[in-house]
Structures are given as C-alpha cells and as structure tokens.
Amino acid sequence: MANNILNFSLADFFYNDNPDVLSPPDDFSEWINNPIVKHSFSFFEQELLDAPRVSTEILSNLDGQKRQIINLTSYNYLGLSTHPEVLQAAKEALEKYGLGSSGAPLLSGTLDIHTEFARKLAEFKQKEDCILYSSGFGGNVGAIQGMMRKGDYLVMDEKCHRSLVDGGTLSGAKMLFFAHNDMDSLQMMLEKAKGKRTLVVVEGVYSMDGDLANMPEICDLAEQYGAGIFIDEAHSTLMFGENGRGVAEHFGVEDRVGVTFGTLSKSFGGVGGFICANKDLIRYLKGYSSPWNFSCAPSPAVSGGLIKALEVATRDSSLRDKMWENTRYMKKNLLDMNLDLGGTKSQVIPIIIGNSGEKLMTYAEKMQKAGLFLQPVDFPAVPAHSRRFRMSVSSQLTQEEMDTTLSIIEDVIVKDMKN
C-alpha cells in the first residue's frame, strides 16, 4: 500500500479481517494516519460555533482559527431553523412538554402535537395519513423495511440515498438498480421483476447532482408494469411545486405516487422524517416499521417548532420565491464562469472539479480560509472522475454574500482551472 496509499479511500476498508474484533483493519490505521489523508479528513466534523445560518462562525480544523464564514454547506434552504416564530413555538412546546417524549410512539411517546403535526403533513401532501420518524434516515429505512419482504422487488435509481438502500437490504427484498434516470434501464429492471410485488424508488431531487427524477415517464412505466411508486422528497419538499409540496406536484403526478417521504431537517429546519400514504398502509407500517416502533418519539420542542415551520413555509410563497431567486442568480453567474454544474435543476448546485482529489482539497482549504464554507465531496460519495463541491442555496443569502461567494469561487477555482 505504501506506494499508492493516496489511491485508497473509505471504499476500501469496509471488510475487516483483523483477528482482533475490537480493532479496525491493520492497513486502515496506516492509511488514515498518513499526513495527506489526515489532512483531507480534517475538513470533516469541523465545529460551527453559531447556528447553521448562511452567516456563521466556524472553528477551523485546518489551522485551529475561529473564522466568520459564508456557509453554503448546511441544508437550511429556507432559513427556518432560526426563524423567530419557529423558535418561539419550539420554546413553548419545550416549556409545556419538556425535553423528551420519554417513550416509543406506540406505548407512551405520542403527544397531541405529534398527532397534530402528522395530520397537517398529510393534509399538506394530500395523502390520507402520515407517520412521523425521529430521524430522516430512520424514516426511509423504516418505510422500505416495513413495506417490503423477501421475494418482493425494489427497483431503485442507482443514485438513491443510503437510507433507501439500507432499508432495502434490511427488508430482504431483491434490489435491482437502474441507471440514473434512464428509462430504458428502468424498463429492463421492471421486466426482470415482472409478476412480483414491485416498488419503484426514486428521489425528487438527487442530493449529489441536484437533478430531478423524470416523474411523468417513471409513472407511466411503473403503471404499465403494475409497480408502486415511492418518492423521496428530502431536498424538494417546501420548495418545488406551486404549493411547495415537492417534485411530484411540480410534474403534476401526485395522485400517481403511492408513498411520499420527506425529511424535517432540511427545508423544515428541524430533525426527523415522515411518510405520507394511504391510511391502511400507514396503519400497517405502525405495526412493522422498526424505527417507528423501537425509537423514542420526536422531541416535543422540535415537533412544536416544526408545526410552525410548516405554517410559515406554506402561508405564502415568499421564502421559496427568495430561495429560487437566489438559486437563479448563483447558477447564472457560475455558468458564466464556465463551471461544470452537471444537470442541476434545483437549489443543490454541484461544482464538478474532476478526478483530482488533491485539487478538490486545495480549493476547499483556500475557500475556507477566504471565508467560504463549501465542503468537498470526494470519492466514494461521488464517482472518482467527478469529485465536486456541493452548494446548498438558501433563501437567507443576501446579495452581498452571493457576490462575495462568487468572487471567492472565481479567485480559487476558476483562475486555477484556467492554468
């Protein structure tokens, strides 16, 4: 390994054959302690010293300095995590119910605010019912694991989130992956699953590329083969569609989608996840979805705040309008610099650097030191030839912050790539 240590990544140490079960693989320690590898990992787990707003402070792992930064990495798309009305509602729920729910939802953890929030989410998504999860990851794992069984088929886009894949593994269903958004490949997989109970699983907005599932054609094909549709709207709820209901609304196919997932940590500004579907399926999930059955119910303060977040984000379109205005501005100016933004159609904007892990890390460091917090996304999270930065555009961005961001990107990335 010594001569090619920098070609290794986290993808290479999953299997552990160290006879000492309490230790990682021998060569993992050799790799992770290499000074260059160590430096790349110093980008991760850096501490924010203030709320994850666009304007915040970081304790940099790179040089130990506290630094005021423009934060385009957090998913706070609509700025709701610090919205004054949301905070007030969270405080009131905290005062009334305390810190925790002290039980799984089935036995004692269900509070009236949980029921109220689930009902409001179901109404918002125009589905019969809703089940709340304490984590977004748990919601996806729990829904897939709760619905599917050995002998069933999951036909998933190859870029689906880990939580969906893990749910599939746990369910015991056969997983077939189709090439990203490729309808011929989807049809080929549906053909293989023909005659079996089949669920097609896609994401509204894909989190590493910012592009959208081709919902009209996916619906046509799924219907042709009698398959159900599950859409993960983690990065699209409250932002896409005339009423903010997501990508399914954007394409006008909501009534053709059986199950819709949303996270509560991104545009909503809290934490958790939810599934909306027909009443009978939600009732069934409450019997078999382990992350619901065996996790404590969501924190009351978070749920109290989230009820208000839903109200604030949907009483008018001002927050998402502002987010879209900012997205258009950033995208136009980044494209004018000839940067490769992949196929983004959303507020998730990748800036694709290419195959050099070294350049990615150098740019990340320079940008952070210049006051822009834009995290590098390296292999194996994305393919080795398309390492990137991933920008999350927020409604909170001011004109000045956008212009400063663009000028840092131009100085650090664009000028270097021209050389």
Partner 1 sequence: MTKEKVIEVIAENIKENLDDLENETIDPMKSMKDYGANSLDMIEVVSCSMRELNIKVPRAELADIENIDQLADKFMEHADA
In 3D space, the residue among 308, 201, 303, 216 whose CA is nearest the CA of residue 260 turns out to be 201
CB of 156 to partner 1, least distance (A): 9
The answer to whether 72 touches 95, Cβ cutoff 8 Å, is no
CB nearer to partner 1: pick between 176 and 402: 176
Nearer to partner 1, 97 or 230 (CB): 230
Cα–Cα distance for residue pair 249/270, rounded to 1 Å: 23
Of the listed 114, 125, 161, 235, which one is catalytic? 235
Q: Which of 135, 171, 207, 395 is catalytic?
A: 207
Nearest of 86, 9, 12, 81 to residue 50 by alpha carbon: 81
The least distance separating partner 1 from the CB of residue 359, rounded to whole angstroms, comes to: 15
The verdict on whether 235 is a catalytic residue reads yes
CB closer to partner 1, 98 vs 380: 380
Q: Who's near 230: CB < 8 A, 6+ residues apart?
A: 143, 144, 199, 200, 201, 202, 257, 258, 259, 260, 261
CA–CA separation, 233 and 253 (whole Å): 13
Catalytic, 250? Answer no
CA–CA separation, 78 vs 269, rounded Å? 8
- CB of residue 174 to partner 1, shortest distance in Å: 8
Residue 173: name the closest of 140, 199, 142, 192 by CA: 199
Q: Measuring CA to CA, which residue among 417, 353, 362, 355 is closest to residue 391? A: 353
Q: Is 418 a catalytic residue?
A: no
One-letter amino acid at 133 equals Y
CB of 123 to partner 1, least distance (A): 37
Q: What is the smallest separation between the CB atom of 389 and partner 1, expressed in angstroms?
A: 19
Q: Are 214 and 243 in contact (CB under 8 A)?
A: no
Q: Please give the residue ranges that form the binding site for partner 1 (CB under 8 A).
A: 1, 3-4, 7-9, 11-12, 14-15, 17, 27, 158, 165, 169, 174-177, 192, 379-380, 383-385
Q: Say which of 114, 250, 266, 331 is annotated catalytic.
A: 266
- Count Cβ atoms within 10 A of the Cβ of residue 95 and give its class: 0-12 exposed, 13-18 middle, 19 or more buried: exposed
Q: How far is the CB of 360 from partner 1 (least distance, A)?
A: 13
CB of 2 to partner 1, least distance (A): 11
Cβ closer to partner 1: 178 or 373? 178
Residue 406 has a CB neighbour count (10 Å cut-off) of 18
Closer residue to partner 1 (CB): 94 or 381: 381
Q: Which helix (H) or strand (E) holds 399?
A: helix 399-409
- Toward partner 1, which CB reaches closer, 100 or 383? 383
Residue 324, CA distances (Å) to 62, 74, 224, 285, 394 in order: 33, 17, 35, 35, 9
Q: Closest CB to partner 1 among 53 and 180?
A: 180
Half-sphere exposure of 176 (CA within 13 A, CB side): 20
Strand pairing report for 198-203 and 153-157: parallel
> Known catalytic residues?
207, 235, 266
